[in-house]
């Protein structure tokens, strides 16, 4: 009896694993992006308002907008309100903005009461013009890895977390518009904790993150 049940049990486990993988893939690729596009002919600009996580399909949505509007404006204004998200998706968005900057002006903005946290910050830093409201909130922290099935934070060894954090900092902040002294202070301050700043803080501290404070 047990010998006959074992193959069925194995098949059932494989089937359950397959269903779980499919569910996670659908969740990861879900078309949950919240992109609103507005044209501003007076400024010869296209405004891309993104509200939500830095997750798929953010890069695809931005790329589609660029393909559709690239010949209709000279400037893309990216307005962000995001809690951050996936490093891989953020990397794709950053690369796309670098490509857009070869042919267009790029502005990034964070409005009153809105957030630009974690992986949103490297995206914000790609703007040639970077504007935030005084009460906009920014958060800088070391990157974390998450289990793709459970969504829980992975328990990585300290040396591995340090390596990933250093690589992230070098890639997105070292050659960014941040002023060197402020960047050095951030690198000391963010170890093991979240660093929160308002738009007003960033402007007052001469961080280089902003080029202007919104009125």
Distance CA 204, CA 199 (A): 9
The CATH number given to 32-213 is: 3.90.226.10
CA distance 208 to 205: 9
* Residue 126: how many other CB atoms lie within 10 Å: 22
DSSP classification of residue 79: E
Q: pLDDT grade, residue 146 (50/70/90)?
A: very low
Q: Would you tell me how many other CB atoms lie within 10 Å of the CB of residue 189?
A: 12
- Cut 0.85: pTM above it: no
d(CA 168, CA 146) in angstroms, rounded, equals: 16
- Burial of 183: CB neighbours in 10 Å, binned 0-12, 13-18, 19+: middle
DSSP labels, 145-156:
-B-TTT-PBP--
* Predicted pLDDT of residue 186: 97
Backbone angles phi, psi at 67, to 5 degrees: -65, -35
Kindly list the domain boundaries of the chain, sorted by start residue. 1-30, 32-213
Q: What is the pLDDT of residue 25?
A: 38
Residue 127 has pLDDT above 90, yes or no: yes
What pLDDT, on the 0 to 100 scale, is given for residue 32?
A: 54
CB 119 within 8 A of CB 86: yes
Read off the pLDDT of residues 157-208 as tens digits, 9 standing for 90 and up: 565 667 788 999 999 999 999 999 999 999 999 998 999 999 999 999 999 9
State the CB neighbour count (10 A cutoff) for residue 37: 14
């Amino acid at each position: 009896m047990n010998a006959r049940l074992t193959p069925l049990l194995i098949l059932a486990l494989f089937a359950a694993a397959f269903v779980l993988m499919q569910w996670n893939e659908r969740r990861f690729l879900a078309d949950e992006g919240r992109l609103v596009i507005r044209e501003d002919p007076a400024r010869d600009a296209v405004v891309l308002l993104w509200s939500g996580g830095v997750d798929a399909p953010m890069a695809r949505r931005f790329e589609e907008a660029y393909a559709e509007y690239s010949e209709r404006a000279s400037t893309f204004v990216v307005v962000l309100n995001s809690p951050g998200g996936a490093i891989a998706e953020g990397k794709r968005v950053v690369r796309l903005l670098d490509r857009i900057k070869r042919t267009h002006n790029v502005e990034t903005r964070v409005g009153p009461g809105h957030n630009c946290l974690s992986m949103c910050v490297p995206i914000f830093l790609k703007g040639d013009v970077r504007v935030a409201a005084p009460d906009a909130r920014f958060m800088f922290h070391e990157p974390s890895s998450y289990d793709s099935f459970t969504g829980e934070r992975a328990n990585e060894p300290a040396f591995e977390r340090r390596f990933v954090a250093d690589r992230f900092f070098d890639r997105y902040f070292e050659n960014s518009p941040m002023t060197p002294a402020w960047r050095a202070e951030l690198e000391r301050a963010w170890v093991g904790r979240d660093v929160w700043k308002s738009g007003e803080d960033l402007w007052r501290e001469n961080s280089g993150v902003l080029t202007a404070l919104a009125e």
